[in-house]
Amino acid sequence: MDMDLTHEIARRLGSSPEAVAPLLEEVLQRIRQKTAQGKTARLPGTGIFQDRGAGLVFEPDPGLAEIVNAPFAGLDIITLTQPAQGSETGQARHGRRPGRSMPHASRKRRRERSQEHVLPGIGMIVIVGIIAAGAWFMLSDRTADPAKPDISASASEESVAGDFSAPEDTLPGESEISPALVSPVTNDALAARPELLRGGEDIDQALGGYTIVVVSETSEDLARNAAQGWREQGFRVIILTDMQDGATRYRVGVGQFDLLEEAALTRDALAGGELPRDAWVFRI
Amino acid sequence: MVSRSAAMSQNDARNQVEHALAEIVRETLAARQDIQVPGLGSFRIVHHAATRMRAKQGDMEFTPPRNEIRFTPEA
């Protein structure tokens, strides 16, 4: 800050710099003397000074440390744990996590388990299909040959499930095996789902989940303007209000994610690029 | 006020200056600006960006950004 401290103090006190200068020097000298004696000197509402032999050290009051960190107030450390049986995969350190979300890794494991059951089933269907196609071929051949007994009616009824020539008969089979054809959704893929971040509609607060805070303001107008800017860039936005130190803070969030993991990985992938470097995940 | 009140003791006047100094330091830092106090040292805000760390057993920990007040005593 480029200011003449003496002049600024004089201005605030309605005094003159000449009158303030010796008093300011007294204040500073007291701090230097006390700390030189190994004592603690306090600057009211700011912090304490002490000298333990390695030079003057300043420790800010917790209140001041909070003020300089106001834009980041309420942001929690996020830990994404490795998938383990029965464990959740992600959590904010202060335990703010929706109970309704199924942990992603659990969903993945369940999908993998379902594939283990489905894959042998596919083999069986293929084998039955080959046998049925062979039977159909032989029966057609017999029908064409008047010397052979005509058993096509009964045989075709028995082989309906494996009759690949009738598309409508294959539909139930397809619906059974379709889960195996869908690639497991990874965390990375979830992080890249664009519809969570961008879209024509703003975020629905009633649906909850997590968002990525990109702007934090104490002025509602500034927050609204910022939100509009993000909206015009195609992001789904929300303004969340929060009380910090007796003042309302307006946070602009982009994107809506069911899972903490999705939000955290998306933030990690885009912060410093599409999103500000200090963007952070916040509970809606 | 320092000069307006003749009855004001030296201690009161010094206290007022001390509080005014503290107020200016506080306001300046709250505005995320640096400030130098001649005869004492300089205060500045150091910003720490968010970090991502690999913790035990492959866990991943994301630490939010924060500001730190750093004081450098006058030489």
The residue among A279, A137, A165 whose CA lies nearest residue A212 is A279
Q: Are residues A151 and A229 in the same domain?
A: no
- Asked, for residue B51, whether it belongs to a domain, the answer is yes
- Asked, for residue B5, whether it belongs to a domain, the answer is no
At which residue do the structure tokens 């500045």 appear? B44
Q: Are residues A162 and A225 in the same domain?
A: no
Q: What is the CATH number of the domain that holds A58?
A: 4.10.520.10
| A125–chain B Cβ distance below 8 A for any pair | no
Over residues A26-84, the pLDDT tens digits come to 999 999 999 999 999 999 999 999 998 888 999 999 999 998 998 888 888 888 887 65
- Residue A257 C-alpha, separation from nearest chain B C-alpha, in angstroms: 17
Structure tokens belonging to residue A83: 């998938």
- Asked, for residue A80, whether it belongs to a domain, the answer is no
- Asked, for residue B37, whether it belongs to a domain, the answer is yes
Distance of CA A100 to the CA centre of its chain: 15
| A73–chain B Cβ distance below 8 A for any pair | no
- Asked, for residue A83, whether it belongs to a domain, the answer is no
- Asked, for residue A242, whether it belongs to a domain, the answer is yes
- Asked, for residue B1, whether it belongs to a domain, the answer is no
Q: Which residues on chain B are in Cβ contact (under 8 Å) with A13?
A: 1-2, 16-17, 20
| A62–chain B Cβ distance below 8 A for any pair | no
| A56–chain B Cβ distance below 8 A for any pair | yes
Among residues A120, A150, A181, which one ends one of the domains?
Answer: A181
- Check if the beta carbon of residue B8 is closer than 8 Å to that of residue B17: no
| Stretch 11-70 of chain B: residues touching chain A, C-beta under 8 Å | 13-14, 16-26, 28-30, 32-41, 43, 45, 49-50, 52, 55, 57-67, 69
Q: Are residues A112 and A142 in the same domain?
A: yes
Among residues A141, A160, A181, which one ends one of the domains?
Answer: A181
Over residues B9-67, the pLDDT tens digits come to 888 999 999 999 999 999 999 998 999 999 999 999 999 988 888 877 778 888 999 99
Q: Are residues A201 and A279 in the same domain?
A: yes
Q: How far is CA A43 from CA A30, A31, A47, in A?
A: 11, 8, 6
Q: Are residues A177 and A202 in the same domain?
A: no
Q: What is the percent of chain A where pLDDT is above 70? A: 60
Partner-chain contact A81 B59, CB within 8 Å: yes
- Asked, for residue A16, whether it belongs to a domain, the answer is yes
Question: For an interface test with A, which of B1, B2, B45 has the most A Cβ atoms less than 10 Å from its Cβ?
Answer: B2
- Asked, for residue B31, whether it belongs to a domain, the answer is yes
Structure tokens belonging to residue A33: 């003397």
| Secondary structure class of B43 (helix, strand, coil) | strand
The residue with greater pLDDT, A178 or A84, is: A84
Structure tokens belonging to residue B54: 């690999």
Q: What is the CATH number of the domain that holds B67?
A: 4.10.520.10
- Asked, for residue A74, whether it belongs to a domain, the answer is no
Q: What's the domain range around A51?
A: 5-68
Does residue A188 have a pLDDT over 80? no
The pLDDT, as a whole number, for residue A31 is: 95
Task: Report ipTM (2 d.p.).
Answer: 0.84
Structure tokens belonging to residue A101: 């979300």
The pLDDT, as a whole number, for residue A129 is: 54
Facing A80 at nearest CB: one of B1, B40, B60: B60
Q: Are residues A9 and A51 in the same domain?
A: yes
- Asked, for residue B32, whether it belongs to a domain, the answer is yes
- The model's confidence at residue B5, banded by pLDDT at 50, 70 and 90, is low
Question: Structurally, how many domains does chain A consist of?
Answer: 3
Over residues A189-234, the pLDDT tens digits come to 445 577 888 888 889 899 999 999 999 998 999 999 999 999 999 9
Question: For an interface test with A, which of B4, B9, B37, B40 has the most A Cβ atoms less than 10 Å from its Cβ?
Answer: B40
| Secondary structure class of A279 (helix, strand, coil) | coil
Q: Is B52 buried (19+), middle (13-18) or exposed (0-12) by CB count in 10 A?
A: middle
Question: Structurally, how many domains does chain B consist of?
Answer: 1
Q: What's the domain range around B31?
A: 10-73
